[in-house]
Amino acid sequence: MANEPLHPQNLTTSVRALSYFPLMRQLGVMIGLAASVAVGVAAVMWVQTPGFRPIYTNLAERDQARVIEELAKTGIPHKIDSASGAILVPDKQMHEARLKLAAQGLPKAGNNGFESMESGNSFGSSQFLETARYQHALEGELARSIMSISVVQSARVHLAIPKQSAFLRNRQQPSASVVVNLYAGRVLDEGQVAAIVHLVASSVPNLTAETVTIVDQQGRLLASNGKQRHEYAAAATQFEQTRKVEESYVKRIEDILSPIIGTGGVRAQVTLDMDFTVTEQTEESFKPQGGAVRSEQVSEEIAQPVAGAVAGGVGGIPGALSNQPPAAGTVTETAAAKPADKAEPGKDAKDAKGGKEGKGKDKAADEAVAAAPSNTSRRAIRNYELGRTIQHTRAAPGKIKRLSVAVLVDNKQTVNADGEAERKPLAKEEIERLTALIKDAIGFNAERGDSVQVTNIAFSTPPEAEPLPDQAFLDKPWVADLGKQSLAGFLVLSIVFGVLRPMLRSLMSKPLPVETDMAAGGMPALAHTGGARHALPAGHVNYDTQLNTAKSLATQDPKRVAQVVKNWVANDG
């Protein structure tokens, strides 16, 4: 009886036996049975219920309503967390839900664009209200555009647009302020800040980039007035250009030395002194030699004396003085020449000769004076076409003033006699060859003060990276599901074998009351449940007749016969 299996017949018998128990016991059994079944069903449903995760956090109430409405349309299960108010969806449908919401433009982070103007009723609205609504819509559109940048999580834009006046002297320039909320660990570089500034400035009429201010969620000023921004941008550009040139030199050195020393055996650092001064020079030069005569003007005047005039005659420029009569003449007495015969002895030949020579000189002088012109004037003006060169030179910024290079090389790897790899320091000649190679690679110029230093030091061997720790067994995603299902199965089995089976056994151990009437001859009659009573033949009937009658009863109603036999065994035991 204790190990009797549970089958439908036994369950039916247990239910029939339950009807003979007192009412309170029947009620208790039914309550326990219902509770066991409820616990089992709850465990099964708990296993089948998926885990929920928040799809979005910190959503505005308007966005939450739109998200819930869209999830209901798509048929994705969802619920609201009572503690945080976040919208929860099943883990397996998280990405699907986000994609479907993104297709509908959700969430919108509370920034309404020009669609807000369509939702409002413009009938009866004042001009001020329409202007304020348009400005709010423009701010929302700008915020959406800024949020399209990958590092920006949310943004707000405030526009200060003054009312324009009809007088030019009273007009004011609009301004804008932008507050950006960046993702954790992200920053905006100078290029992205400048892009946001010009985006806002280009979207509002008469707004200049100098009047746009950008602040992040930490309160740091990213962009202020235009003068400071221009100075910072120029300094950042110069630094970036210097860094790029230095990286270019470093790459040259490593590329040319790595095949010799080995990969990872070269470390180089380059420091540049660059001149970003902008210089402009204009120069004009002439070539005096080889110039061609462009024009020439020659003027010449020659005045000759009057024919037959003696020296000292009238001449000169006509005028009052030249028209006056000459002065009175004078007579000059000259000593008469002595006769030749009366000359002193010894002096005759000499005097005669000297007199002759004096007369010849006076005659030549008189002829020269008579032949020479009295006045000569000559003027010449020549214009030359000279070669002219005008040169305008603008020196490009970024000139290298000085170059300093420091190179650290590892020991050279060689193979010893035993065939094992070993590292040996470089010889002095090898270092000199490497230095010369580096100088040629970087364009070394000693006149500007360039320096190259090559040092050979054995590199320290980095420790081997430890393998990443394996994920803990309990942290694996399938462990939680398996534990959940195992716990639910244990609860169901505990209910079946710990509650239901003992209950059924206790019910089956209680025999059903059998109505027995002593038939004629003292033979008991079989119990019945509303049908006719079946009794064995009374009187002195032989054994074969009674056996046949019992077989017939067993064939007609085997269940009742079995119950009678059980009752007999119970009464005998």
pLDDT in tens, 48-100: 666 777 887 777 777 788 888 888 888 888 888 777 778 888 877 888 888 88
Out of 165-169, 178-182, 226-230, the most confident range is 178-182
122 vs 301, higher pLDDT: 301
pLDDT of residue 406: 94
pLDDT of residue 177: 92
Out of 228-232, 261-265, 443-447, 546-550, the most confident range is 443-447
Superfamily of domain 132-163+172-224: ANL, C-terminal domain (3.30.300.30)
What is the model's pTM?
0.44
Share above pLDDT 70 across residues of the chain, in percent, rounded to a whole number:
69
Give the confidence band of 352 by pLDDT, cuts at 50, 70, 90.
Answer: very low
Which is it for the CA torsion 415, 418, 420, 422, positive or negative? negative
150 vs 345, higher pLDDT: 150
Report residue 112 as tokens.
Answer: 């309404």
Phi, psi of 367 (to 5 degrees): -70, -35
Give the confidence band of 515 by pLDDT, cuts at 50, 70, 90.
Answer: very low
- pLDDT at residue 264 above 60? yes
DSSP H stretches of helix in 5-50: 8-18, 23-48
Give the confidence band of 317 by pLDDT, cuts at 50, 70, 90.
Answer: low
Distance CA 97, CA 77 (A): 10
- pLDDT at residue 130 above 50? yes
Question: Which CATH number among 3.30.300.20, 3.40.50.720, 3.40.50.300, 3.40.50.1970 corresponds to the domain 242-278+395-456?
Answer: 3.30.300.20
Out of 17-21, 295-299, 433-437, 455-459, the most confident range is 433-437
- pLDDT at residue 41 above 50? yes
3-state secondary structure of 117: helix
Tell me whether residue 335 is exposed, middle or buried, using C-beta atoms within 10 angstroms of its C-beta: 0 to 12, 13 to 18, 19 or more: exposed
Give the confidence band of 248 by pLDDT, cuts at 50, 70, 90.
Answer: very high
Q: In the predicted model, what is the mean pLDDT of the chain?
A: 74
Which is it for the CA torsion 557, 563, 565, 571, positive or negative? negative
pLDDT of residue 432: 92
* 411 touches 426 (CB < 8 A): yes
Tokens 């320096």 -> residue = 451
pLDDT of residue 339: 44
Q: Are 52-104 and 132-163+172-224 the same fold in CATH?
A: no
Which string of b and e fits 465-484 if b means at least 16 CB within 10 Å?
eeeeeeeeeeeeeeeeeeeb
- pLDDT at residue 252 above 70? yes
- Break the chain down into helix, strand, coil percent, rounded to 5: 45, 20, 35
- pLDDT at residue 303 above 60? yes
Mean per-residue pLDDT, 236-242: 85
Annotated domain spans of the chain: 52-104, 132-163+172-224, 242-278+395-456
Report residue 404 CA to chain centroid gap: 32
Distance CA 246, CA 405 (A): 10
3-state secondary structure of 359: helix
Tokens 């509770």 -> residue = 35
pLDDT of residue 527: 44
Amino acid sitting at position 201: A
Q: What is the dihedral of CA 90, 91, 92, 96, to 10 degrees?
A: 80
485: enclosing H helix or E strand: helix 477-495
* Range with the poorest average pLDDT among 40-54, 226-240, 364-378, 406-420: 364-378
Q: What is the DSSP string of 145-208?
A: HHHTSTTEEEEEEEEE-PPP-SSGGG----EEEEEEEEPTT----HHHHHHHHHHHHHHSTT--
pLDDT of residue 329: 57
Tokens 């040092």 -> residue = 455
pLDDT of residue 521: 42
Eight-state DSSP code of residue 372? S
pLDDT of residue 159: 92
- pLDDT at residue 385 above 70? yes
**CATH fold of 52-104:** Alpha-Beta Plaits (3.30.70)
- pLDDT at residue 383 above 60? yes
Q: What contacts 499, CB < 8 A, 6 or more positions away?
A: 32, 33, 36
Mind listing the pLDDT tens digit for each residue in 276-299?
888 888 888 877 776 677 788 888
Distance CA 412, CA 484 (A): 61
3-state secondary structure of 433: helix
Mean per-residue pLDDT, 374-381: 78
Tell me whether residue 552 is exposed, middle or buried, using C-beta atoms within 10 angstroms of its C-beta: 0 to 12, 13 to 18, 19 or more: exposed
- pLDDT at residue 7 above 70? no
Which residue(s) pair with 283 in the sheet? 391
Give the confidence band of 226 by pLDDT, cuts at 50, 70, 90.
Answer: low
Out of 6-10, 422-426, 468-472, 552-556, the most confident range is 422-426
Tell me whether residue 92 is exposed, middle or buried, using C-beta atoms within 10 angstroms of its C-beta: 0 to 12, 13 to 18, 19 or more: exposed
Terminal alpha carbon distance of the chain: 14
pLDDT of residue 403: 92
